[in-house]
Amino acid sequence: MNAVPPYVPGHGLMRGRTAVVTAAAGTGIGGATARRLLEEGARVLLSDAHHRRLEQTTAGLAAEFGASAVASAPCDVTDEEQVAAMFGAALDRFGRLDAVVNNAGLGGTARLTEMTDRQWGRVLDVTLTGTMRCTRAALRLMAGGGGGAIVNNASVLGWRAQEGQAHYAAAKAGVMALTRCAAVEAAGDGIRVNAVAPSLAVHPNLAKAASEELLAGLAAREAFGRHAEPWEVANVIVFLASDYSSYMTGEVVSVSSRRA
């Protein structure tokens, strides 16, 4: 198994920019992305449906990066009013919106023959329709503000089959299609829309929800013999949110070593 590489320091890629990150509380990809954006000089509004965890994460980052750089707004992405309030809070606090990272998603495991309509609908509503709601709201705001960048969190399961993941895989494939269509529609307004498709990024919350055997088996299939660290995915997200990817739109970037 290859060792985890050293953490990459910030280079000011997002200096002077403002960003919103959904599902940003805690130790997963959203939290790592919020931290990386701050390290790259952005001002960041964190959002999450978990209020207590959001408060703790926001307080920790504000203590580290300064209260003027960090804000928060609770948001359940299945609720249109809460989505509008989240973006309103970002504009009220920072006065502009340059980047949005749609990270909110919901998983679960169920064979299709045993899956209920409620299980299917809940995963689709959070993971796909929630991404649509946030993308739609961001496009409306950015169109009048000179452009911006949206990065959606998809998954390699949008391409690959895995037992028990029909609802999640369908939702993530939908996120990929949504990304491509939104990119074509938004290009004329100077807005770029891209997505990342991680394979396996393990953090404490995922480790609680999945068995050690499953995670070990998935990691063994990766060329590096290990899972990705959340910050390794966050690095690619921030690249797509920055001007370093100025000619990229409608792309889904795999953050995986399985194709090596």
Which tens digit of pLDDT belongs to each residue from 175-205?
999 999 999 999 999 999 999 999 887 756 5
The total of structural domains in the chain comes to 1
Residue 52 sits in which domain range? 18-255
Angle between helices 80-94 and 130-143 (to 10 degrees): 40
In tens, the pLDDT along 47-82 reads 999 999 999 999 999 999 999 999 999 999 999 999
In a domain, 11, yes or no: no
In a domain, 7, yes or no: no
Is the pLDDT higher at 200 or at 160? 160
Write down the catalytic residue from 7, 168, 244, 247.
168
- How large a percentage of the chain has pLDDT more than 70? 91
Q: What is the pTM of this model?
A: 0.92
Overall average pLDDT of the 9-22 stretch: 96
**What does the pLDDT read at residue 144?**
86
In a domain, 221, yes or no: yes
Token output for 252: 């889904």
Determine whether 168 is an active site residue: yes
pLDDT band for 215, please (50, 70, 90 cuts): low
b/e for 17-50, b at 16 or more Cβ within 10 A? bbbbbbbbbbebbbbbbbbbbbbbbbbbbbbbbe
Overall average pLDDT of the 216-241 stretch: 84
In a domain, 1, yes or no: no
pLDDT band for 249, please (50, 70, 90 cuts): very high
In a domain, 12, yes or no: no
Among 32-46, 61-75, 209-223, the minimum mean pLDDT is found in 209-223
- How large a percentage of the chain has pLDDT more than 90? 80
Overall average pLDDT of the 26-53 stretch: 97
Overall average pLDDT of the 161-172 stretch: 96
185: Cβ contacts below 8 Å, ≥ 6 apart: 139
Overall average pLDDT of the 110-126 stretch: 97
What's the CATH code of the domain at 182?
A: 3.40.50.720
Token output for 4: 């985890």
Bridge partners (DSSP) listed for residue 228: 201
In a domain, 94, yes or no: yes
**What does the pLDDT read at residue 211?**
61
In a domain, 8, yes or no: no
Token output for 207: 């480790």
Among 110-114, 171-175, 220-224, the minimum mean pLDDT is found in 220-224
In a domain, 9, yes or no: no
